[in-house]
A = this chain, B = another copy of it.
Amino acid sequence: MKIDHIGIAVKTLSEAAKTYEDTLGLKRSSEDQVEEQGVRLAMLDIGESRLELLEPTRPDSPIGKFLSKRGEGLHHIALQVENIELMLANLKAAGIRLIDEKPRSGAHNSRVAFIHPSSTHGVLLELVQYGE
């Protein structure tokens, strides 16, 4: 298991990406827009992981609501796993509250599922499995 990415909610993607590129020297590896989630995102490489900057495309999206409630900042941690179904089954058996009981499609041929922060001491965790 490794950290796939750390999600950061921001108001303006271009400004935030520029800050992280210019001041920390990170390199933007991809950009994307997921209309279903109401989010525009940019990935910045760091070691084996990435920072994922998330800007809402509408105020009632999950990131839009997060921003109005808590402001910009750390949003979630995504962990790369080898067998997401097995992981979800084990978590459910252990009484962990899942947001997604089954994986759904993510970017770059991945399957993803979120774990509810009430079961992980306030941290929104995402599981990611790539390929098949």
Chain A contact residues, CB within 8 Å of chain B: 1-3, 6, 8-11, 15-16, 19-20, 22-26, 46-49, 53, 70-77, 79, 90-91, 94, 96, 117, 119-123, 125
A interface: dominant SS = mixed
Shortest distance from the beta carbon of A73 to any chain B beta carbon, whole Å: 3
Asked if residues A49 and B8 are in contact (CB atoms below 8 Å), the reply is no
Set of chain B residues within 8 Å of A96, measured between Cβ atoms: 23
Known contacts A1-B26, A25-B1: A123-B8 contact under CB 8 Å: yes
14 chain-A/chain-B pairs, Cβ below 8 angstroms: A1-B46, A2-B49, A3-B6, A3-B46, A3-B47, A6-B6, A19-B119, A24-B125, A49-B49, A71-B122, A72-B123, A74-B74, A74-B75, A74-B76
Shortest distance from the beta carbon of A79 to any chain B beta carbon, whole Å: 7
Q: How far is the CA of A49 from the CA of B1 in the complex (A)?
A: 10
